[in-house]
Amino acid sequence: MVRSKEFDPDAVLQAALELFWRRGYEATSMADLVGHLGIGRASIYATFGNKRQLYLRALRRYDEAQRSALLWELTRPGPALPAVRAVVRRFAAEAGADGVRGDGCFLTNAAAELGAHDPDVARQVDAGWESLEVLLHSALVRARVQGELPGDRDPRAVARMLLVLMQGLRVVGKASADPDRVRDAAEQALASALPATLPVPSGVLAAAPPSD
């Protein structure tokens, strides 16, 4: 009879994600993982593989969670530019928040620590950035169709500018003691890239609030 696992692999993966996110890959040993996850080394190897494989799975889980939240924020019906602004401002607020400042963004941290010499990490990071760019681009295309974005603005170029801005906010916010630094930068970038007014045609309905 096959013995069932005595732990929840999903909960263990989430705990590993949080440890890697906080400490980084190199600073996290297998002994650290055993102590933090509360399961034996053999169970980690049998369920997730070695430390690097566990790290990649944790990074992928983080990316999927981020993508799901952004998809909900940027694809709701109604005016698109308020949603884009809200996402950028959320990144700035999170980057400057005391509880987040020390950890930063897991994808950005992975890019800085391992992206230059680990192709698998680089691919995962690039996939995460690509998905964010696609979501921003789609929202900006919708904004132009709806009359919110002037025809001389290139949605792809603006999306890429915002992507680089948002990752930069996370890097600066991770070490900066002044939350206004990232917030002011975000507001200036939004003012430069997006129009101040929203001439939305009457046929475009306002986004409905999410149901409870």
DSSP 146-212: TTSS-TTS-HHHHHHHHHHHHHHHHHHHHH-S-HHHHHHHHHHHHHHHS-SS----TTSPPPPPPP-
Which uninterrupted H or E stretch holds 68?
helix 51-74
Query: Dihedrals φ, ψ of 72, to 5°?
Result: -65, -40
CA distances from 127 to 56, 82, 96, 123, 162 (A): 13, 25, 25, 6, 16
pLDDT (0 to 100) of residue 138: 96
pLDDT (0 to 100) of residue 98: 56
Question: Model pTM?
Answer: 0.82
| Encoded tokens for 33 | 């993982």
Q: Indicate the SS3 state at residue 23.
A: helix
C-alpha radius of gyration, the chain, whole number:
20
- Given a contact cutoff of 8 angstroms between Cβ atoms, the answer to whether 9 and 16 are in contact is no
Taking the chain (212 residues) in runs of 10, the rounded mean pLDDT of each run is 64 95 94 93 93 96 92 92 94 74 79 93 95 96 94 94 93 82 92 72 47 42
Q: What angle do CA 80, 193, 158 make, to 5 degrees?
A: 75
Tell which CATH classification among 1.10.3720.10, 3.40.50.170, 3.40.640.10, 1.10.357.10 matches the domain 58-193. Answer: 1.10.357.10
pLDDT (0 to 100) of residue 102: 52
User: Rounded CA gap, 83 and 75, in Å?
Assistant: 9
| Encoded tokens for 37 | 């996850």
Domain boundaries, the chain: 58-193
pLDDT (0 to 100) of residue 207: 45
- Given a contact cutoff of 8 angstroms between Cβ atoms, the answer to whether 182 and 173 are in contact is yes
pLDDT (0 to 100) of residue 121: 96
User: Rounded CA gap, 173 and 92, in Å?
Assistant: 8
User: Rounded CA gap, 58 and 123, in Å?
Assistant: 14
pLDDT (0 to 100) of residue 171: 87
